[in-house]
Amino acid sequence: MIDKLLIILIFILYSINILDIISIKWHNDLFKSNYEQCYILNNMSLYEIETHRYKLNNYIKSKKYNDTIENFKFVFDIIIKLSIILLVLIVLISVYNSEINKIKEIVIIIITIIIITLYYYIGNNIINENKELKKEINNDKSNILYKYDIVYKICNILIYIDENNNIFNEILKYKYTNIINNKRLIDQLESNISKIEDISDETKINFILNESINKLDYLKYINLDELSPYFYKEYFDNMYIIYNNNKIDIKELKNNKKKEINNIIEKKLIDNNIEIEGKGFDYINYFIENKDILFKMVDVDDKTKNTLNNNYNIIILIIIYIIIFILISHYILIKINKNIYILILLLITIIYLLLLWIKLRIL
């Protein structure tokens, strides 16, 4: 009886494990699909919040991603331990019943060992791949998403240093002169927030804007693609800040003034729990040297793409899962009548779909 309960428990845990890893793959594929269909195929201009790089960067740094990986690892460890216990039980029961020499028992033991070995190998690969991916994006200074995140945050700070030093009241020109922009930047941001978030209440719009300013994330509500007709080309090509009522080209920042702005950037990054490059780092130069990553729509680098697009481990896990499902279904059918069997399968399907919906909800 214990071995049968263990089989059912392992199957349930395996289902949760499969869903966790599918959810990570699904999120990336959805972000990529939205980017490819809207931006590449239909040549539609996207707000930054809609781009693959923005969504993927925020997802991998999110609590949801961390929780999914930790949950996968936790359940994975339990499954391995329970599977080993199950294997030992099968052997002991077979020895006790003097069935260890029967072909059926030997086949069951061999299949169990193969499944445990395969699952352990693939599960470890998945855990290591995702750990390495997160480490690269957070710590590898050559990684595109690492650079993108810092450049994006710096840009947010330069445009809005504080309440008295920002360009929010500036009217910025679009890329093409035949499209006239009559709105101040703050008005454009509020208008875009209204469209994107589908709200019209000014209080809510202002709350969202202020919250995104504090998080160094309000630029997600504008278009940062230099090919877009709605790109503020003139401004971003010759970026300036407004500081102490003076317009200062960022390339002209020097000596004490440059140090002062760099200190402000550093403090704001620290306040937002963003790892800084080191005390006294020149964030202005870093931004100038890497801003093309932001405005030329540089997407995820090849190494990151290869890791995210690797389907082999998931396919093998799903095949193992299907085999286990068939074996357990067959076992249940032998033990109970057909009507109850159908009801149990229906219940399992409903629970599985519910879990799938919970796991695959967007951030």
The answer to the question of residue 331 being in a domain is yes
Query: Residue 329: how many CA atoms within 13 Å on its side-chain side?
Result: 13
The answer to the question of residue 353 being in a domain is yes
- Domain range enclosing 229: 151-295
Q: Are residues 10 and 60 in the same domain?
A: yes
Average pLDDT over residues 43-61: 77
The answer to the question of residue 121 being in a domain is yes
pLDDT for 31 beyond 70: no
Q: Are residues 67 and 159 in the same domain?
A: no
Closest CA to 263 of 233, 287, 284: 284
> What is the number of domains present in the chain?
2
Q: What is the mean pLDDT of the chain?
A: 79
Q: Are residues 212 and 240 in the same domain?
A: yes
Q: Are residues 23 and 94 in the same domain?
A: yes
pLDDT tens digits for range 86-134:
777 767 766 666 655 566 667 767 777 777 787 778 878 878 877 777 7
User: If pLDDT is split at 50, 70 and 90, which confidence band does 265 have?
Assistant: very high
Q: Are residues 350 and 222 in the same domain?
A: no
3-state secondary structure of 247: strand
pLDDT at site 305: 66
Q: How far apart are CA 107 and CA 104, in angstroms?
A: 5
Tokens 């076992």 belong to 331
Closest CA to 159 of 294, 309, 33: 294
Q: Are residues 260 and 290 in the same domain?
A: yes
Q: Are residues 13 and 130 in the same domain?
A: yes
Q: Are residues 29 and 63 in the same domain?
A: yes
Q: Are residues 155 and 291 in the same domain?
A: yes
Enter the pTM of the model: 0.77
Q: How far apart are CA 355 and CA 353, in angstroms?
A: 5
The answer to the question of residue 146 being in a domain is no
| DSSP string of 294-343, one letter each residue | HHTT----HHHHHHHT--HHHHHHHHHHHHHHHHHHHHHHHHS-HHHHHH
Q: Are residues 130 and 187 in the same domain?
A: no
pLDDT at site 363: 45
pLDDT at site 343: 75
Let me know: does 35 contact 51? Beta carbons within 8 Å: yes
Distance of CA 169 to the CA centre of its chain: 34
pLDDT tens digits for range 293-319:
888 876 666 666 666 666 677 777 777
Q: Are residues 167 and 286 in the same domain?
A: yes
